[in-house]
Structure 1
Amino acid sequence: MLGFIDSADSHLMSTRSCGACSLHSSHRHALEEIRKVPISKRQILCLIALAYGNFCVAACVSLQAPFFPAECDNKGVSSQVYGLIFGIYELVILTASPIFGKMFAYVSPNFFLESGLFLAGITTVLFGILDRIADSLQFTVLAFSLRIFEGAGAAAFLTSCYTIMPLEFPDHISFLFALLETFFGLGLIVGPTVGGALFEVGGYITPFAVLGTCMILGSLVSIILLPKSGGVTQSKSPSVFAFLCDIGTLLDVLTIAGCLNLIGFNAATLEHHLRQFNLSPTKIGSIFIITGSVYALTNPLWGKLGEYKFDARWMSILGTAINIVGLLFMGPADFLPIEPQLWLVIVSLIIVGIGMAAKQVSAYIACLNDTINRRGYPNETSTYALVSATNFSSCSAGAFLGPSVGGYLLGTIGYRASTQVILGFEILTLILLVLYKLCGS
């Protein structure tokens, strides 16, 4: 979920040293920064700990998708409920991250990073024994409880990670934002793939035990490798409420939330749709990584187009239109005279991955440019933090609503009709973006 937006953050940080330079020049300067100020051994060890933690968090949060819905069905838990079980993780991150950020003024972020990894790892391992609980109510309560604690652990780690990173690497911020994003993306790909394979080999408990243990080891690695640091002094930032009171900013928030909404929707519902094709857990896990893989491959292309040729808002419009095409055929929509076919699902997921990359990158760039150039916010760290926090919260909100609403829709109207609801959201977003752009904004 966080990995998809963090790569856009790398565009922000180089503006601290380039003043009136382009806001999108950080990719060109990343290697120059590395050559100017070499990374020390201390920093290399710190980077290993942060990268490993990002990988483990992403792998553990994504590993349930290929087989947990089927386990819920066996326990008599409805799709509405297990959609909420998926979504509660994001809701906890959304609410807990600001709290942890405020506490860094008094407690070292290292403590939250190490304890967050340990908590998330323990809860992941415990999630692997849920199949032994026969009572559906007990199963549901424990699943919710474990996901809540896992989300709190992930929030503690992620908030700490992106606080420690600029403190320890002040000369390499833009490059390392992108690097940590890469490791998070790898985790999102490995999670469902390896999780499905481990499920086939050793049953329900095996993927949770293996990947959860890897995360616990990440906590120990962090204790050993991370340099000690003190509390972080909080600087005053612009009002979030005032920042959101702008149509352009709200449209960017809506665009970003829509991307994670779609990812969360498929996490809770796609496995149910794929059952008709009689696929193994490993194959289902492979299908789940298609969208993220395409996103990762096409993201640099959209970034270059936005940097040199394309207006960011028109790129958002193009990405939304591409997503609409993918959603039309993913089910496919009920009003199309086409029966569900596996190859059609795969092609649709590829199309959606392309559209998501365009939307995510362009909405972030549009929001940043608008905030500084049109709205007159200062070109400084507090503004970058405000834009990043707003977009991060948009991702969490979308990732919570996607599986929560998706699980409910799956249980009431079925997968094909459910995709039409998400399709309607994308069409509404497209209309609003086009109107805003045509009105001269």
Structure 2
Amino acid sequence: MSVHFETGNINCCNTVHQPQQPAFRSMQYCQDATTRLLPSKHIEPMNRKQICCLIILAYSYFCIAASGSLQAPFFPGQCDIKGVSPLTYGLIFGVFELIVTSMPSIFRKMFAYVTPHTALRFGLFLTGTTTILFGVLDKVTLANQFAGFALLLRIGEGLGVAAFVSSCHALKESEFREHPVPALTALSTASCLGALLGLPIGGALFMAGGYFMPFVVFGSLTLFAFLMSIFILSKSDDYMLIGDPISPGYSDKFVEVFAIAGSVALTGFNDVTLAHHLSLFDLSPIQLASIFMIILFAFLTFPTFCCAFGSNGFGSLWTPIVGTVLIIIGLISIGPASFIPIEPYVLLDDDLWLIILSLIVIGFGLRAKKLSPTSYGCSKWLKALPIIATFVGPVTGGWLISTVGYRTATEVALALEIFTLILLIIHKICNCRTPVEPSF
């Protein structure tokens, strides 16, 4: 076999023929006066235990992502039936997002006392149970009781999801040290598929059995993952967290963090307000879920375009600027904004094409803004800004819907995006300036 090594301007080539020897016994070394290149370490394939662990984690990610995707298309409509105000169910959405984003850091500290396996089982059990109970809420008739129980269940579900995500990070560190990329790819794919497929499947279940059916089905599937984790995952207590799990880092520059926080807030805003806006149309549950799936699909596919931009020398600082411009275009057309000569939608299915097109553009823009250049060395209050935005976005959206309506609410979001665009352009100009050498 021929082995080629290249370091700087030095090319080494060596040919060795050992047909009867195993590969690890025929290692070759290429040396020069200053460099010695060693062959890469042989990585063993995943064993049976690791494969079983990965299957359980991927299945759990799928169920939890599918359960989470059911909230936005169906819960606001149920709140309208019960007489719950948009501000109240915006608060319910916001509390869940706040817990999911803030609690993992606390759970990571607890791994000094409990194993990730215990936290995983606790998270799956709590998430599955609260999801099933969330589907039974349609039996509650009084608005205040409905809102109170929904808030408590969403808090419990948020704690379960946070415990599950934290334990999965720890298990990836301990179980898949030699296979981090395949494990991360499998879990990310399972989560994306759950979020995408949960919407149409949930819509079909809603048509078949009403509000409670999709929540009971996916909650039961999550409890089945809990049972599998008990009987299949290792019961060893030797797994402790080695280092902090990888978590999103935010830039130490305020503008970039502000852009990310704005995209997070707009995502929560859209979850609360879009179902209310689509209630103007006579849509079936499957159609409603499919429209929510469109923006999620656009959000997940946009990184492919970003890679193409990057290969053509498209600077990373331009990505959030382009994303903000796309969001502005989408918000202008989805309302539509009052300053453009387009009448609001009048219960015609033919008007849906503009909403769908706007959601695709907004999905691209949200993803582009979240691809802002980031780092880990920022202050704690800057890291907290996107976490706060997960709560502020849904609550603000619910309050605006109940007071000024969807059209004006999108104009408020539009004003925020225009302000963000101005900040990003100034930030880009300042970063493009090159220092001038002083002359003496």
TM above 0.5, yes or no, is yes
Match of 2:74 in 1: 67
Equivalent position amino acid for 2:45 in 1: P
Match of 1:230 in 2: 238
Structure 2 residue 357 is the aligned partner of structure 1 residue 353: no
**Match of residue 258, structure 1, among 252, 262, 275:** 262
Q: Distance in 2 between matches of 1:245 and 1:391?
A: 8
Structure 2 residue 202 is the aligned partner of structure 1 residue 195: yes
Match of 2:128 in 1: 121
Q: CA RMSD in A?
A: 2.7
Match of 1:150 in 2: 157
Q: Distance in 1 between matches of 2:424 and 2:221?
A: 43
More displaced stretch, 213-222 vs 302-311 = 302-311
**Match of residue 320, structure 2, among 316, 321, 327:** 316
Q: Distance in 2 between matches of 1:124 and 1:51?
A: 19
Q: Distance in 1 between matches of 2:66 and 2:387?
A: 17
Q: Counterparts of 1:21-170 in structure 2 under 5 Å?
A: 36-170=43-177
Q: Distance in 2 between matches of 1:422 and 1:179?
A: 35
Give, in angstroms, the shift of residue 396 of structure 1.
4.4
Q: Per residue, is there more helix in 1 or in 2?
A: 1
Q: Counterparts of 1:259-274 in structure 2 under 5 Å?
A: 259-274=263-278
Question: Which protein shows a greater Rg?
Answer: 2
Structure 2 residue 296 is the aligned partner of structure 1 residue 292: yes
Higher RCO (CA < 8 A, seq sep 6+) = 1
Identity within the alignment, %: 43
Give, in angstroms, the shift of residue 358 of structure 1.
2.0
Q: 1:94 to 1:296 in 2, by over 3 A?
A: closer
Give, in angstroms, the shift of residue 440 of structure 1.
2.4
Equivalent position amino acid for 1:104 in 2: F
Match of 1:433 in 2: 424
Q: 1:391 to 1:259 in 2, by over 3 A?
A: farther
Q: 1:160 to 1:236 in 2, by over 3 A?
A: closer
Please list every run of 5 or more consecutive structure 2 residues that lacks an aligned counterpart in the other structure.
1-39, 346-350, 433-440
**Match of residue 204, structure 1, among 195, 200, 211:** 211
Q: Distance in 1 between matches of 2:211 and 2:290?
A: 18
Q: 1:426 to 1:279 in 2, by over 3 A?
A: same
Q: Distance in 1 between matches of 2:260 and 2:310?
A: 16
Give, in angstroms, the shift of residue 35 of structure 1.
8.9
Once the two structures are superposed, residues 104-126 of structure 1 have per-residue CA deviations (whole angstroms, 9 ceiling, x without a partner) of 12210111111101101000000
Structure 2 residue 335 is the aligned partner of structure 1 residue 328: no
Match of 1:26 in 2: none
Give the 3-state SS of the residue equivalent to 2:354 in structure 1: helix
Structure 2 residue 408 is the aligned partner of structure 1 residue 417: yes
Q: 1:396 to 1:214 in 2, by over 3 A?
A: farther
TM-score normalised according to structure 2 size: 0.81
Q: Distance in 2 between matches of 1:320 and 1:192?
A: 27
Once the two structures are superposed, residues 341-385 of structure 1 have per-residue CA deviations (whole angstroms, 9 ceiling, x without a partner) of 211100001111222222222x1xx113xx5xxxxx6xxxxxxxx
Once the two structures are superposed, residues 285-304 of structure 1 have per-residue CA deviations (whole angstroms, 9 ceiling, x without a partner) of 10001011112222233135
Q: Distance in 2 between matches of 1:345 and 1:229?
A: 52
Q: 1:305 to 1:45 in 2, by over 3 A?
A: farther
8 Å Cα contact 1:189/1:293 also seen in 2: yes
Match of 1:405 in 2: 396
Give, in angstroms, the shift of residue 130 of structure 1.
0.9
8 Å Cα contact 2:174/2:242 also seen in 1: no
Give, in angstroms, the shift of residue 255 of structure 1.
2.2
Once the two structures are superposed, residues 395-414 of structure 1 have per-residue CA deviations (whole angstroms, 9 ceiling, x without a partner) of 54433222111111110111
**Match of residue 341, structure 2, among 337, 345, 370:** 337
Equivalent position amino acid for 1:434 in 2: I
Give, in angstroms, the shift of residue 244 of structure 1.
7.4
Q: Distance in 2 between matches of 1:34 and 1:176?
A: 19
Give, in angstroms, the shift of residue 252 of structure 1.
2.7
Give, in angstroms, the shift of residue 390 of structure 1.
9.7
Q: Distance in 1 between matches of 2:367 and 2:143?
A: 39
Q: Distance in 1 between matches of 2:183 and 2:293?
A: 24
Once the two structures are superposed, residues 382-437 of structure 1 have per-residue CA deviations (whole angstroms, 9 ceiling, x without a partner) of xxxx89x9999665443322211111111011111111111122212211111111
Equivalent position amino acid for 1:359 in 2: K
Q: 1:328 to 1:186 in 2, by over 3 A?
A: same
8 Å Cα contact 2:173/2:241 also seen in 1: no
Q: Distance in 2 between matches of 1:96 and 1:434?
A: 34
Q: Distance in 2 between matches of 1:220 and 1:50?
A: 12
More displaced stretch, 271-280 vs 220-229 = 220-229
Give the 3-state SS of the residue equivalent to 1:66 in structure 2: helix
Equivalent position amino acid for 1:114 in 2: R
Give the 3-state SS of the residue equivalent to 1:128 in structure 2: helix
Give, in angstroms, the shift of residue 254 of structure 1.
2.1
Match of 2:227 in 1: 220
Give, in angstroms, the shift of residue 256 of structure 1.
2.2
Q: Distance in 2 between matches of 1:156 and 1:390?
A: 23
Give, in angstroms, the shift of residue 258 of structure 1.
2.3
Q: Distance in 2 between matches of 1:34 and 1:274?
A: 56
